Amino acid sequence: MTADFLIVGQGVAGSVLAWILDQRGCSVILADDPNLPSASAVAAGIVNPLTGRKLVRTWKADELFPFLHQFYSGIEQTLGVRFFHPKTIYRPFRSVREQTDYLALTADPAIRQYVSESADNQSYSQFIQNPFGGLEVTQAGWLDLTEFVRVIKGYFVRKNQYFEGRITADDLHIKADKVGWKDIDFTKVIFCDGVQSRENPLFNWLPYNPVKGQILTAIAEGYSIKNIVNQGVFILPVREGLIRIGATYSWHDLDWQTTDDGRSFLESKVREILKIPYQIVNQQAGIRPSTKDRRPFIGLHPEHPAVGIFGGMGTKGVSLAPYLAEQFSRYLLDGEDLESEANISRCVSL
């Protein structure tokens, strides 16, 4: 038996790549081990073209954001489901100085295209501390990752092209032009297994720099703001009265366990901006597959061209995966070039 692609790992990266290859007419087996922890199972799924205190434009934002909106809404229309929620991100100013600085930054046309002309500050003030007003970042939103992964899994299950279980490099019979697994020969195997790739002998030489993050889920009765609020931490409205609060960043103690320190940090930050009481109902921790140079790891193994990787998306997998997976599919199927900053060839000397 033969097939085109075996995709190992079904977080956001594996789900997106499997879908794109399938839509290109390839035969794809999507595999995932539900017993392994996954960053996608924890992440809030926020997409944001302007990040940080200095409103830095996300890498390749002008290409990524139009594409991701079209991509996720396209799957929704094709399958008759809902998991992508376009929103603005409201950023209340901390001071008059910050207000002045931010408004000066938005004079730059590259930034201004992602900012509303004027924010409706009054609509937020019942719930959010905003005495100096704020600005609204446009073209943002959030992907319900749990639902997205469930939908993509269901699609491949219905096609009898889904394997639930662990696949490691040791399970593969790698040859120059194909890879065998069980009784199937694949043209390519692509690992999309997030931070687990650090333990993969085929790709453990790649310079990962994983980041642990924690997030809270809380009941906030009466909280009716529809958009995301971000000032030091984000407040993401899942539905009326239910919010997620995040996130922490830690480069040590890289485990999947929640901590009291993480909860205390997030609560101290959210109390500075949230006016109404809330009750924590859940806390989660995950490890983001970030990289040393903050660019993804995409490409084929330098010695085994039938084996590839699509990962290292860090904190921005929901934003990066659609555009880069489309580009990777053209590289694999049409011989087009890969984005040089994401191509693992930059790391081969390591």
DSSP 249-302: -BSSS-SS---HHHHHHHHHHHHTTB-S--EEEEEEEEEE--BTTS--EEEE-S
* Residue 27: pLDDT band with limits 50, 70, 90: very high
DSSP 8-class letter at 336: P
For 188-223, what is each residue's pLDDT tens digit?
999 999 999 999 999 999 999 999 999 999 999 999
Comparing CA positions, the residue from 32, 22, 30, 9 lying closest to residue 297 is 9
CATH number given to 211-288: 3.30.9.10
pLDDT at residue 253 in the model: 87
Cα–Cα distance measured from residue 198 to residue 208, given in angstroms and rounded to the nearest whole number: 7
The predicted model gives 124-136 an average pLDDT of 97
Residue 350 has pLDDT above 60, yes or no: no
Mean pLDDT of the chain: 96
Q: Which two tokens stand for residue 29?
A: 């087996």
Rounded percentage of the chain residues whose pLDDT exceeds 90: 95
Instruction: Write phi, then psi, for 109 (nearest 5 degrees).
Output: -55, -30
What does pTM read for this prediction? 0.96
Cα–Cα distance measured from residue 122 to residue 205, given in angstroms and rounded to the nearest whole number: 52
For 30-43, what is each residue's pLDDT tens digit?
999 999 989 888 99
Helices (H), the chain: 12-23, 61-79, 96-105, 109-112, 121-125, 145-158, 260-271, 317-334
User: Is-contact 93 132, C-beta < 8 A?
Assistant: yes
* Residue 54: pLDDT band with limits 50, 70, 90: confident
Comparing CA positions, the residue from 220, 237, 235, 216 lying closest to residue 283 is 216
Gap between the terminal Cα atoms of the chain: 37
What lies within 8 Å, CB to CB, of 111 at 6+ separation is 50, 55, 57, 105
pLDDT at residue 349 in the model: 66
Q: Is residue 188 within a helix (H) or strand (E), and if so which, with residue range?
A: strand 184-191
Residue 305 vs residue 350, higher pLDDT: 305
CATH architecture of 2-43+146-207+292-347: 3-Layer(bba) Sandwich (3.50)
pLDDT at residue 212 in the model: 97
Cα–Cα distance measured from residue 201 to residue 156, given in angstroms and rounded to the nearest whole number: 28
pLDDT at residue 84 in the model: 98
Determine whether 70 is exposed, middle or buried from the number of CB atoms within 10 Å of its CB (0-12, 13-18, 19+). exposed
What lies within 8 Å, CB to CB, of 267 at 6+ separation is 216, 245, 280
The predicted model gives 17-30 an average pLDDT of 98
For 63-91, what is each residue's pLDDT tens digit?
999 999 999 999 999 999 999 999 999 99
Domain ranges of the chain: 2-43+146-207+292-347, 46-143, 211-288
* Residue 52: pLDDT band with limits 50, 70, 90: confident
